[in-house]
């Protein structure tokens, strides 16, 4: 029976957590996403469900995490662990605070801890401040993370901006006094209205004491390090079998290492591996249908690496990442791609006539442009208006996401069009048709105009289905 149910906000973090639990003798199975069936987990005592929620919208991250929680509850878990990165990767919008709040509410709990410390990887917490080695995280390369830049090392402050509930601190002098003192501090914070406690930890001994003190918490949150002390709680209660023997199956054949992280550590590892292994760098700008990157990589790997691993990577330095994000429009394009899995490319322009239409006060927000031509109906169909938000605002991406599942093209108010396609060519042609239709619409304003009627539109959709 599952004793510990774990929800990780990404795959590699989930793997770290599973490795920690197995290392402490707990039989552990890792799953990728929430199973849509009764997955065979054998005699697992812990299950780690790895999501891809770290940089999702808070609403999506909450929904995915609650779905994972329900699956774990049905399988009998009685304590739960929310795993996030030891660098506390998040923004003021989340996702650590909002997801943790949702899990606490769903479990009927009122208190938990947040301890991302992982001393083995030089991530420690002292006086509530997160350090990477000897540096505050705000002085490390994480300050320039392309998605979740960490520029405030005070975790109490960081988490407090992500939750409406109180956030307190368990200082190292308390942690150093052992598990009993830590539990007493938990009770002090809980009784004074705090829902969260950031907990200091500078070495593995601290983590084990924190784990011991957290035996009665319904939910524990943190990096994989704080899970060090949890298996022993179950063992003392007689709830675990014989310690599992850590062992991975052996495989033969060719070997490939695939990297996409843009962290300083990963880029350093790539530089080192490149001295000894064949390497292939993928340009993210070419990852659209029509470029044939996948077939190129497969062919290249087949010609190399018979006697050693090959390295395939898309990692880049912060300046290049920023440039790529500028080219593609990170948040809005990402919303389109995630809501429309068949999307191969997204085009966003500030094209003159489309922008002009987006500024008009008397247009129908459910369908901005009328069916003037057959080609507009075939390429665009319906074009809703997205309310105005400042460029780069996360609410803009959320608004696009809400419409993207039903519409492959939207018009941003006082801004411009966003059009998705199965390929870059499809998206470009559709955007061109939209711009020309916007031009016609402006030219025809005030004139008696014959638009396509419902019967004609239905006929086009029958003849030319998407």
pLDDT at position 402 is 85
Give the pLDDT mean for 301-319: 89
The phi, psi pair for 95, rounded to 5°, reads -110, 0
Give percent of the chain with pLDDT exceeding 90. 67
Going by C-alpha positions, the residue among 222, 214, 154 that lies closest to residue 185 is 214
* Residue 290, pLDDT score: 55
User: Does residue 73 sit in the same domain as residue 178?
Assistant: yes
Q: Are 136 and 280 in the same domain?
A: no
Instruction: Extract the tokens encoding 278.
Output: 């064949």
Does 276 share its domain with 392?
Answer: no
- pLDDT, mean of residues 410-422: 93
Specify whether 44 is located in the same domain as 178.
yes
Q: What is the pLDDT of residue 249?
A: 72
Q: How far apart are alpha carbons 354 and 111 in whole angstroms?
A: 51
Q: Where are the beta strands (DSSP E) in 325-439?
A: 345-348, 385-386, 409-412, 416-421
pTM of the predicted model, to two decimals?
0.69
Coil, strand or helix at 24: coil
The per-residue pLDDT for 288 is 54
Claim to verify: residue 290 and residue 383 sit in the same structural domain: no
pLDDT at 242: 82
52 plus 72 within the same structural domain? yes
pLDDT 10s digits, 155-213 = 999 999 999 999 999 999 999 999 999 999 999 999 999 999 999 999 999 999 999 99
User: How many domains, the chain?
Assistant: 3
- Residue scoring higher pLDDT (59 or 392): 59
- Which domain range does residue 200 map to? 4-236
In a domain, 418, yes or no: yes
Domain assignment present for 244: no
Note whether 179 and 287 are same-domain residues: no
Q: Which residue has the higher pLDDT, 130 or 461?
A: 130
Tell whether 424 is covered by a domain.
yes
CATH code at 52?
A: 3.40.50.10840
Same domain, 267 and 357: no
- My answer on whether 225 and 272 are in the same domain is no
Range name among 34-48, 210-224, 238-252 with the lowest pLDDT average: 238-252
Q: Does 243 reside within a domain?
A: no
Position 249 in a domain: no
| Inside any domain, residue 242 | no
Q: By percentage, how much of the chain surpasses pLDDT 70?
A: 93
> What is the per-residue pLDDT across 139-153, written as a single tens digit (0 to 9) for each?
887 777 666 778 899
Instruction: Say if residue 141 is in the same domain as residue 221.
Output: yes
pLDDT in tens, 68-101: 999 999 999 999 999 999 999 887 788 999 999 9
Distance from C-alpha of 29 to C-alpha of 261, rounded to nearest angstrom: 25
Note the pLDDT of residue 291: 66
């Amino acid at each position: 029976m599952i004793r510990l149910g774990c929800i990780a906000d990404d795959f590699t973090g989930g793997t770290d957590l599973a490795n920690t639990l197995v290392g402490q003798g707990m039989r552990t199975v890792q799953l990728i996403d929430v199973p849509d069936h009764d997955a065979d987990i054998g005699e697992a005592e812990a299950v780690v469900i790895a999501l891809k929620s770290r940089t999702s919208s808070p609403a999506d991250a909450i929904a995915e995490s609650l779905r994972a929680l329900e699956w774990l509850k049905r399988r009998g878990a009685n304590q739960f662990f929310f795993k996030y990165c030891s660098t506390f990767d998040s923004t003021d919008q989340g996702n650590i605070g909002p997801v943790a709040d949702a899990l606490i509410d769903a479990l009927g709990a009122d208190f938990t801890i947040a301890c991302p410390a992982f001393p083995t990887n030089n991530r420690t917490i002292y006086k509530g401040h997160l350090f990477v080695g000897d540096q505050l995280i705000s002085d490390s390369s994480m300050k320039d993370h392309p998605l979740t830049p960490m520029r405030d090392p005070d975790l109490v402050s960081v988490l407090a901006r992500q939750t409406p509930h109180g956030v307190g601190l368990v200082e190292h002098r308390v942690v150093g006094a052992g598990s009993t003192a830590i539990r007493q501090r938990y009770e002090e914070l809980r009784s004074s209205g705090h829902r969260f406690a950031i907990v200091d930890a500078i070495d593995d001994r601290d983590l084990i004491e924190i784990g011991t003190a957290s035996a009665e918490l319904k939910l524990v949150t943190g990096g994989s390090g704080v899970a060090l002390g949890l298996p022993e709680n179950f063992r003392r209660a007689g709830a675990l079998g014989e310690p599992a023997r850590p062992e991975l199956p052996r495989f033969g054949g060719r070997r490939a290492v695939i990297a996409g992280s843009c962290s300083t550590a990963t880029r350093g590892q790539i530089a080192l591996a490149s001295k000894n292994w064949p390497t292939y760098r993928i340009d993210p700008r070419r990852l659209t249908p029509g470029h044939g990157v996948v077939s190129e990589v497969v062919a290249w790997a087949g010609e190399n690496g018979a006697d050693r691993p090959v390295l395939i990577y898309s990692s880049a330095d912060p300046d290049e990442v920023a440039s790529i994000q500028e080219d593609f429009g990170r948040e809005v394009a990402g919303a389109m791609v995630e809501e429309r899995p068949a999307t191969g490319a997204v085009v966003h322009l500030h094209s003159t006539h489309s922008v002009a239409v987006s500024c008009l006060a008397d247009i129908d927000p459910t369908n901005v442009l009328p069916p003037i031509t057959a080609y507009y109906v075939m390429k665009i169909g319906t074009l809703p208006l997205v309310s105005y938000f400042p460029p780069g605002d996360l609410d803009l991406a959320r608004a696009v996401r809400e419409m993207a599942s039903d519409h492959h093209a939207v018009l941003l108010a006082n801004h411009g069009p966003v059009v998705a396609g199965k390929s870059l060519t499809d998206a470009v042609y559709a955007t061109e048709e939209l711009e020309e239709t916007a031009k016609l619409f402006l030219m025809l304003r005030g004139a008696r105009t014959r638009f396509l009627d419902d019967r004609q539109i239905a006929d086009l959709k029958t003849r030319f289905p998407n």
